[in-house]
Amino acid sequence: MFLRYSYILGGLMIGLVLATPVRAATQDPTPIAACPTDPLAPAETPRVEIDTRNGPTIGTMQYRDGGGLRNKEIALTFDDGPNPDVTPRILDILDKHCIKATFFMVGFYAEARPDLVREVAARGHIIGTHTWSHPNSLRHLSMASAKTQIKRGFAAIKTALASAPPSDRTALAPFFRFPGLNDKKSLIIWLGDHNIATISCSFGADDWKHINANQVYARGLGAIESEGRGILILHDTKPHTADMLSRFIVTLERRGYRFVQLAPKPTSRTLADATPLDLRNALP
Ligand SMILES: [Zn+2]
């Protein structure tokens, strides 16, 4: 344990010396406040806002539009939670590094632990949805069943946030991610009719596979280094993801990457509210 912390602290010191002048020389002349618990990080995560009008498809692994991320910008996304064991660990690590992320939640788990949904919102993260029960692929379901999966996913998060402070309720974004990234044209169009964006990714770290934390760390870094920017998919259901996350973030910071948060444009929320999914038969 001591050795591990020494290593991380040593890395922080070296990174601080290297990173500070670069940031000061190339960024806004106003000094950027540092994260109190991570001297390599800024105190706030800039947002990359997605205009969800007509349901764009975002994420270079599958689509042309990368979401507008600039070189060396990384957006962290977490799928399949909320999970009572792993989500709180992930939230603490993100707080430690002053990073805001985007969570794609499964309705069934959100209904089981609405307190965790509210906690994710209260800590400043954005919440998109990822169906009600995470079937492997919506392609094999009827349109009616697939739509119910999507609607119940949104309904579960809405219900969980109904008792949250009004400012936290805006955490729910008109963002949808297909399970297994198995999209379907007709569903993308239907989501677009409701001004909901389909959010894919640029790369993953294979953390859904049976591999250990070091392998997740190495594969995630490898994917990021080969693309230079993008939306990363991780899972807040996997202990090995939480095990490597802090080290992973520090390494990226030392290599000059900056974290951004995928969020909807404020006008997108209004637009999606004006074209709501019909949740009458979808409430859990
Ligand atoms: Zn998933």
Give 225 Cα–ligand 1 centroid separation in angstroms. Answer: 24
State the distance from the centre of ligand 1 to the C-alpha of 33, rounded, in angstroms.
35
Q: How many whole angstroms from 235 Cα to the centroid of ligand 1?
A: 8
CA of 104 to the centre of ligand 1 (A): 8
Q: How far apart are CA 119 and CA 84, in angstroms?
A: 11
Residue 87 Cα to ligand 1 midpoint, Å, equals: 14
Residue 10 has pLDDT above 80, yes or no: no
In the chain, % of residues over pLDDT 90:
82
Residue 130 lies in a domain: yes
**AA identity, residue 246:** S
- Please state, in angstroms and rounded to a whole number, the distance separating the CA atoms of residues 200 and 143: 20
Which residues are paired to 43 by β-bridges? Answer: none
Q: Specify the CATH number for the domain of residue 261.
A: 3.20.20.370
How far apart are the CA of 218 and the centre of ligand 1, in A? 21
Q: Which helix (H) or strand (E) holds 199?
A: strand 197-199
Closest-CA residue to 67 (of 177, 190, 153) = 177
Asked if the structure places residue 279 within a domain, the reply is: no
Give the 3-state secondary structure of residue 201. coil
- 10 found inside a domain: no
33 within domain boundaries: no
Q: Is the pLDDT of residue 13 over 60?
A: no
- What is the C-alpha to C-alpha distance for residues 152 and 193, in angstroms, rounded to an integer? 17
**If you count them, how many residues does the chain have?**
284
Q: Ligand 1 mean position to 135 CA, how many Å?
A: 9
Q: Summarize pLDDT for 213-270 with one digit per residue, the tens.
A: 999 999 999 999 999 999 999 999 999 999 999 999 999 999 999 999 999 999 988 8
Residue 80 alpha carbon to ligand 1 centre in Å: 5
The amino acid sitting at 85 is: D
Interval between CA 31 and ligand 1 midpoint (Å) = 39
* Cα(180) to centroid(ligand 1), Å: 6
Is 34 contained in some domain? no
Across 178-194, average pLDDT: 97
Under 8 Å between Cβ of 256 and 241? no
Following CA atoms 227, 228, 230, 231 in sequence, which dihedral angle do they give, to the nearest 10 degrees?
Answer: 80
Q: pTM score, two decimals? A: 0.88
| Cα 82 to ligand 1 centre (Å) | 11
pLDDT in tens, 61-93: 999 999 999 999 999 999 999 999 999 999 999
Pairwise CA distance, residues 78 & 254, whole Å: 22
pLDDT of residue 17: 37
The mean pLDDT of the chain is 90
Domain contains 107? yes
Report in angstroms the alpha-carbon separations of 150 from 9, 126, 132, 233, 237. Answer: 44, 18, 6, 19, 20
Using the mean position of ligand 1's atoms as its centre, give its distance from the Cα of residue 149 in Å: 13
Distance 275 CA to ligand 1 centre (A): 26
Task: Quote the ligand 1 centre to 12 CA distance (angstroms).
Answer: 33
Q: Long-range CB contacts (< 8 A, 24+ apart) of 20-24?
A: 22/256
Domain contains 253: yes
| Cβ count near 17 (within 10 Å) | 9
Residue 179 CA to ligand 1 center (angstroms) comes to: 5
CA of 38 to the centre of ligand 1 (A): 30
Ligand 1 center from residue 51 Cα (angstroms): 23
For residue 230, the 8-state DSSP code is E
CA distances (Å), origin 47, targets 73, 158, 202: 11, 22, 17
Tell me the per-residue pLDDT of 136-156, one tens digit each, with 9 for 90 and over: 999 999 999 999 999 999 999
* C-beta separation of 137 from 182 below 8 A: yes
Q: How far is the CA of 129 from the centre of ligand 1 (A)?
A: 10
DSSP string, 131-154: -SS--S-GGGS-HHHHHHHHHHHH
Residue 93: domain span:
43-274
**How many domains does the chain divide into?**
1
